[in-house]
Amino acid sequence: MPFTVPVADQARLLEHVVGIEGLAQHERFAHADPETVEAVLEGAASFAEGEFLPLHRIGDEVGAKLEDGVVTMPPGYREAYRAFVDAGWMTLSAPTDFGGQAMPLALSAALMENLNATNIGFALCPMLSLGAVEALEAHGSDELKARYLDKIVSGEWPATMNLTEPQAGSDVGALTSKAEPAGDGSWRISGQKIYITYGEHDLADNIIHLVLARTPGAPEGTRGISLFLVPKILPDGSRNDLVCTGLEEKLGIHASPTCVMRYGENGGATGWMVGPENGGMRAMFTMMNNARLNVGLQGVGLAERATQEAVAYALDRTQGMRGGRPTAIAEHPDVRRMLMRMRALTMGARALCYYAFGCIDKGETGDTEAALRAEVLIPMAKAWSTDVGVEVASLGIQVHGGMGYIEETGAAQHLRDARIAPIYEGTNGIQAADLVGRKLGLDGGLAFDGLIADVHADTQDERLMALADVIEQTATMLREAAPDHKLAGSYPFLDMCSVMVAAWLLEKVAIATDDPRTKAASEYFLSVLVPEALGKGAAASAGAEILYSVPAETLA
Amino acid sequence: MPFTVPVADQARLLEHVVGIEGLAQHERFAHADPETVEAVLEGAASFAEGEFLPLHRIGDEVGAKLEDGVVTMPPGYREAYRAFVDAGWMTLSAPTDFGGQAMPLALSAALMENLNATNIGFALCPMLSLGAVEALEAHGSDELKARYLDKIVSGEWPATMNLTEPQAGSDVGALTSKAEPAGDGSWRISGQKIYITYGEHDLADNIIHLVLARTPGAPEGTRGISLFLVPKILPDGSRNDLVCTGLEEKLGIHASPTCVMRYGENGGATGWMVGPENGGMRAMFTMMNNARLNVGLQGVGLAERATQEAVAYALDRTQGMRGGRPTAIAEHPDVRRMLMRMRALTMGARALCYYAFGCIDKGETGDTEAALRAEVLIPMAKAWSTDVGVEVASLGIQVHGGMGYIEETGAAQHLRDARIAPIYEGTNGIQAADLVGRKLGLDGGLAFDGLIADVHADTQDERLMALADVIEQTATMLREAAPDHKLAGSYPFLDMCSVMVAAWLLEKVAIATDDPRTKAASEYFLSVLVPEALGKGAAASAGAEILYSVPAETLA
């Protein structure tokens, strides 16, 4: 199916939601002038359409293969990855000191969205490297940076994140991988890690693993975790003591090798500590914050792709009559309802994610309020956008009818691919817990309250005001509530907040631009999605009693 | 994963929602005495757990295979199907004249739910035969019945439904398969049919196809369609002129062969007309009404399965702490929220489906009001229960975290399997159109209004009353509305009505039985799902303008 990156939508958001021209007034982003931004948007679209899109199906059908510890990517992936590196796409938002272009993350978001839309399984490789760049830049020693950072920035050596162990998933603090000092400043790492995305592959000559492990005598839990850089190939050219022992058979993202990794089976893999001892969680959060937003963009990208394909199919497929003539199914009201819902949700999720990235960028220019706003938005952008990705992909199947259930059509793959995003980089439940647990109280509550105040100040719509009012009341209640009550309401609360922000942003863009489809999406939000979100208010404030009225065993 | 049929829940619904003891007061169901009902429930549970469940994974992994027109089922399926036939399970609700046991459909529903829960891909084979039995019994000639009905009733010769053609899906009237009179009372059928479930397989010696086709000079559209019985093997033992030319590669239900069928490539397949010429649509609706409810039971069965597995996993998997101790994730509020939601939705969908079957059974005893009630309930039971199946299966993946995305765990298969049910037997959009287009006006509107009145009369809950009020007002509005407005609101309207009925039934059972988990599910409906449904009221009455504010092309 053809796919066209919605460059005009992206540009509209950068202008009216991110305020990229304002960012370019600052020294930090002075090079993000309008001409450059336009060129990057056009170039990122062409690259994704030309290089990543054609490899999408083969990635699903052939997938990554493991034999004797060697992971082989599907045909064409090596060449396309090379093209990606050579064109400098990996360097877009990276720091200039290490060969990066230091562009705003909000602009990089457009690139990542495109890669996700055209080939999510492939896009995971650069996505993980982005997180590693940030962690290493913020916490790595000068020596480590000098040795590794420019190679990761360029994409020459892709990087990975090694957190999860069989007993330590959402509970990262339960991990048991070990690091012993080698005496020469390096460490010997040993342990098993699972679900390591791109833990092994043949796209590059080296792979740089960032691994969480415990040093001798480290405290229990998250306070005793340190971060290590563990390269596949050591500086002397020898192979490090690490190996991929298995690939998971997954529902989707087959192009992406999900590896079981074993470190130190022969005495210990050599690694170097990143940041201070027992400071691994902080370094990890540096990686994860932006990674979470990038996962949100997976939802956006897949939703865009599924929407375009569903509309194209519905315009082409004739069934039944309207006004006495055979008609395309896109004209039938309930099909149109699905298409409109898909389009509106996609645009809303994109607006939310770009806005969050834009707030991080503003924070980089010294705007601390914007930096705090980003913190509040991140769990919404990750969780809601990935839920949107699943819903829109599922609607895409429905629009295709029986054809949607046949793999050949491609609609089913989007659902299979989309379904991982609510799980990894912190499950959506973890995001909701973060919103009510940390973000609601950030800056004494001002960070969250400022968001509500902005919505109230801007919107001209009574339905959206009503939603903002309910959210405000619920927030007050949740702040006072016992932890279980807070958590019991966290998921519906996150949903409501996300819809509020998306509706607010789309309304702003619709008013500013008069763009027909933004207006249509905005009106759909206000008429349908905002009232729907209001319906979740009861669950957000219902408390935990109804969940614990019977023992969990009784639910089996 | 272990799976236990929830016999106690099934029995509770048969007693308090279906009123099976009342049914047994009637001559027609006199044999459905409490002891027999109990024995059937227990037997149906053991059979499904013992014979269908063990073949579930192999059905997905190996699937049905086509070679040279011959479809081979996975190992074990022939023997299990034989066991199913030998035990007489196929005959449960069939008419006694042809070897059936004439049990209430509501009891047969428990059996079908179990087969769906344990092996949906396998269960489709008997399900389709059930529809054929009804069509043939209601519309077939005595001669045809004598020749075929007892074999289909016993399961000896499974049957199929051949409606869809490449250009004729939801628009059945666009089909072009032909039937020419052979001069001896039989017909020569020719044409291509697609998406024919169990169109070919090796479970039995013969397969009885029910095929829609057009006779010479038939009017266009649905008024010119006739139904034909076309056996794979003719009465003289020769092979009929029909062949399976392809199997679809599907997202799920891999055990079920989805066939491309070609009729009459060598002069015409021999068939016999069922019912009057051009009366095919009526005969088809006979098949489809109950088939729709059986598809609703696929949603119920898969939801039950996914719920049990998620609860078991969440009780077993330890992550994080509660009260200073490591805890099973089932104790974390947001996980408990998912488990409770899964359990409540599953019980609600089961109650709705069993109730609909029970109304058909009551109709059989001469209760015309119940028969009309069933008509109103059928689109809800089909559409909402299958949406529940998808939602619960997706939540099941989420509860499993990263494990849920790995195929080995089995959670992902449930989502893949569940995703077909909102599509076939009339898409859920078609069901919603049926609800607002036909069912809302049935019996001058009394059929629908009676349902609302019953909810109002029974419930003691203000939230449910509020929902019933909004539905009543919306119904009044939709009845007066132009067709496009009606259809634009049809899907959210169906959702609201379904939640109302499910909440009403669960509340009744909770009050009557004091069963702890029914009470918990009922409270969850009233506290969370009913308010959520209220949030859809705006969309139900918003009209079509917001959907058509831009051309469909603008949504691409």
Q: Is B455 on the interface with A (CB under 8 A)?
A: no
Q: What is the pLDDT of residue A11?
A: 98
B-chain CB neighbours of A196 within 8 Å are: none
Residue B227 has pLDDT above 80, yes or no: yes
* Cα-based angle A274, A279, A280 (whole degrees, multiple of 5): 65
A-chain CB neighbours of B311 within 8 Å are: 552-553, 555-556
Q: Where do runs of H (alpha helix) occur along B425-482?
A: 428-437, 446-458, 462-480
- Contact assignment for A535 to B536 by CB distance below 8 Å: yes
Those of residues 149-168 in A touching chain B at CB distance below 8 A are 164, 167
Q: Is A176 on the interface with B (CB under 8 A)?
A: no
Residue A248's pLDDT band, with cuts at 50, 70 and 90, is very high
Query: For A319, which of B171, B412, B549 is closest by C-beta distance?
Result: B171
A379-433 pLDDT per residue, tens? 999 999 999 999 999 999 999 999 999 999 999 999 999 999 999 999 999 999 9
Query: How do strand A242-247 and strand A258-263 relate by DSSP bridges?
Result: antiparallel
Which domains are delineated in chain B? 158-278 (2.40.110.20), 428-546 (no CATH)
* Percentage of residues of chain A with pLDDT beyond 90: 97
Task: From residue A529, give the alpha-carbon distance in Å to each of A329, A504, A523, B540.
Answer: 23, 12, 9, 12
Other CB atoms within a 10 A radius of the CB of residue A147 amount to 16
Residue B289 contacts residue B439 (beta carbons within 8 Å): no
3-state secondary structure A67-125: ECCEEECCCCHHHHHHHHHHCCHHHCCCCHHHCCCCCCHHHHHHHHHHHHHHHHHHHHH
Residue A425 contacts residue B402 (beta carbons within 8 Å): no
Residue B119 contacts residue B255 (beta carbons within 8 Å): yes
Query: For B339, which of A428, A488, A555 is closest by C-beta distance?
Result: A555
- Contact assignment for A555 to B394 by CB distance below 8 Å: no
- Contact assignment for A555 to B517 by CB distance below 8 Å: yes
Query: For A547, which of B164, B337, B490 is closest by C-beta distance?
Result: B337
* Whole-complex ipTM: 0.98
Task: Please give the Cα distance from A422 to A465 (Å, whole number).
Answer: 29
A264-304 pLDDT per residue, tens? 999 999 999 999 999 999 988 888 888 999 999 999 999 99
Alpha-carbon Rg of chain A, whole angstroms?
Answer: 23
Q: Is A533 on the interface with B (CB under 8 A)?
A: yes
Q: Is A542 on the interface with B (CB under 8 A)?
A: yes
B389-425 pLDDT per residue, tens? 999 999 999 999 999 999 999 999 999 999 999 999 9
Q: What is the pLDDT of residue A375?
A: 97
- Contact assignment for B488 to A174 by CB distance below 8 Å: no
Task: Please give the Cα distance from B333 to B19 (Å, whole number).
Answer: 37
Closest CA relative to residue A166, chosen from B403, B331, B406 = B403
For A453-481, what is the mean pLDDT?
97
- A/B interface, count of CB pairs below 8 Å: 272
Query: Which chain B residue lies closest to A524 (C-alpha atoms)?
Result: B546
Q: Is A531 on the interface with B (CB under 8 A)?
A: yes
Q: Is B390 on the interface with A (CB under 8 A)?
A: yes
Query: Which chain B residue lies closest to A197 (C-alpha atoms)?
Result: B402
Closest CA relative to residue B259, chosen from B269, B248, B267, B268 = B248
Residue B170's pLDDT band, with cuts at 50, 70 and 90, is confident
Q: What is the pLDDT of residue A288?
A: 84
Residue B287's pLDDT band, with cuts at 50, 70 and 90, is confident
Query: Which chain A residue lies closest to B491 (C-alpha atoms)?
Result: A334
Instruction: Give the distance, in angstroms, between the CA of residue A458 and the centroid of all CA atoms in the same chain.
Output: 28
Residue tagged 């962690």 (tokens): A135
Q: What is the pLDDT of residue B475?
A: 98
SS3 B492: helix
For residue B179, give both structure tokens.
Answer: 């039937």
Candidates B165, B342, B399, B555, partner chain A, best to mutate (most A CBs within 10 A):
B555
Task: Please give the Cα distance from A340 to A343 (Å, whole number).
Answer: 5
Q: Which helix (H) or strand (E) holds A184?
A: none
Residue B49, classified by CB atoms within 10 Å of its CB into exposed (0-12), middle (13-18) or buried (19+), is: middle
Residue B285's pLDDT band, with cuts at 50, 70 and 90, is confident
Q: What is the pLDDT of residue A104?
A: 98
Those of residues 99-138 in B touching chain A at CB distance below 8 A are none
Helix-, strand-, coil-residue percentages of chain B, each rounded to 5: 65, 15, 25
B-chain CB neighbours of A330 within 8 Å are: 552
Q: Is B407 on the interface with A (CB under 8 A)?
A: yes
Q: What is the pLDDT of residue A324?
A: 87
Q: What is the pLDDT of residue B469?
A: 98
Q: Is A534 on the interface with B (CB under 8 A)?
A: yes
B81-117 pLDDT per residue, tens? 999 999 999 999 999 999 999 999 999 999 999 999 9
Task: Please give the Cα distance from A534 to A466 (Å, whole number).
Answer: 8
Q: How far is B169 from chain A (nearest CA, A)?
A: 7
Candidates A222, A250, A251, partner chain B, best to mutate (most B CBs within 10 A):
A251
Query: How do strand B269-274 and strand B226-231 relate by DSSP bridges?
Result: antiparallel
Residue B173 has pLDDT above 80, yes or no: yes
Query: For A340, which of B532, B538, B555 is closest by C-beta distance?
Result: B555
B189-213 pLDDT per residue, tens? 999 999 999 999 999 999 999 999 9
3-state secondary structure B534-552: HCCHHHHCCCCHHHCCCCH
Q: Where do runs of H (alpha helix) occur along B140-255?
A: 142-144, 150-154
Q: One of A113, A375, A425, A507 is an active-site residue; which one?
A: A425
Of A163-172, A494-503, B5-14, the least confident: A163-172
Residue B34's pLDDT band, with cuts at 50, 70 and 90, is very high
Query: How do strand B258-263 and strand B242-247 relate by DSSP bridges?
Result: antiparallel
Arithmetic mean of pLDDT over chain B: 97
Residue A258 has pLDDT above 80, yes or no: yes
Q: Is A312 on the interface with B (CB under 8 A)?
A: yes
Query: Which chain A residue lies closest to B345 (C-alpha atoms)?
Result: A555
Closest CA relative to residue B382, chosen from B275, B289, B302 = B289
Residue A183's pLDDT band, with cuts at 50, 70 and 90, is very high
Residues 6+ apart with CB under 8 A from B71: B64, B65, B200, B201, B202, B244, B247, B257, B259
Residue A305's pLDDT band, with cuts at 50, 70 and 90, is very high
Task: Please give the Cα distance from A319 to A322 (Å, whole number).
Answer: 10
For residue B205, give both structure tokens.
Answer: 């010696």
Task: Please give the Cα distance from B512 to B195 (Å, whole number).
Answer: 44
Q: How far is A514 from chain B (nearest CA, A)?
A: 13
Q: How far is B156 from chain A (nearest CA, A)?
A: 29
SS3 A254: coil
- Contact assignment for A164 to B402 by CB distance below 8 Å: yes
Identity of the amino acid at B206: N
Question: How many helices and strands (H and E) does chain A possess?
Answer: 19, 12
For A508-533, what is the mean pLDDT?
98
Residue B356 contacts residue B381 (beta carbons within 8 Å): yes
Task: Please give the Cα distance from A266 to B17 (Å, whole number).
Answer: 65
Q: What is the pLDDT of residue B2?
A: 83
For A16-43, what is the mean pLDDT?
97
Q: What is the pLDDT of residue A323?
A: 85
Q: What is the pLDDT of residue A405?
A: 98
B425 is known as an active-site residue: yes
Residue B296 contacts residue B385 (beta carbons within 8 Å): yes
* Percentage of residues of chain B with pLDDT beyond 90: 96
Arithmetic mean of pLDDT over chain A: 97
Query: Which chain A residue lies closest to B431 (C-alpha atoms)?
Result: A334
Q: Is B540 on the interface with A (CB under 8 A)?
A: no
Q: Is B139 on the interface with A (CB under 8 A)?
A: no
Q: Which helix (H) or strand (E) holds A269?
A: strand A269-274
Q: One of B113, B425, B462, B553 is an active-site residue; which one?
A: B425
Q: What is the pLDDT of residue B457?
A: 98
Residues 6+ apart with CB under 8 A from B453: none
Q: What is the pLDDT of residue B268?
A: 97
Closest CA relative to residue A161, chosen from A219, A82, A227 = A227
Residues pairing with B328 in the sheet: B318
For B268-297, what is the mean pLDDT?
93
Q: What is the pLDDT of residue B496?
A: 98
Instruction: Give the distance, in angstroms, between the CA of residue A251 and the centroid of all CA atoms in the same chain.
Output: 18
Query: Which chain B residue lies closest to A319 (C-alpha atoms)?
Result: B171
Residues pairing with B473 in the sheet: none
Of A439-443, B75-79, B170-174, the least confident: B170-174
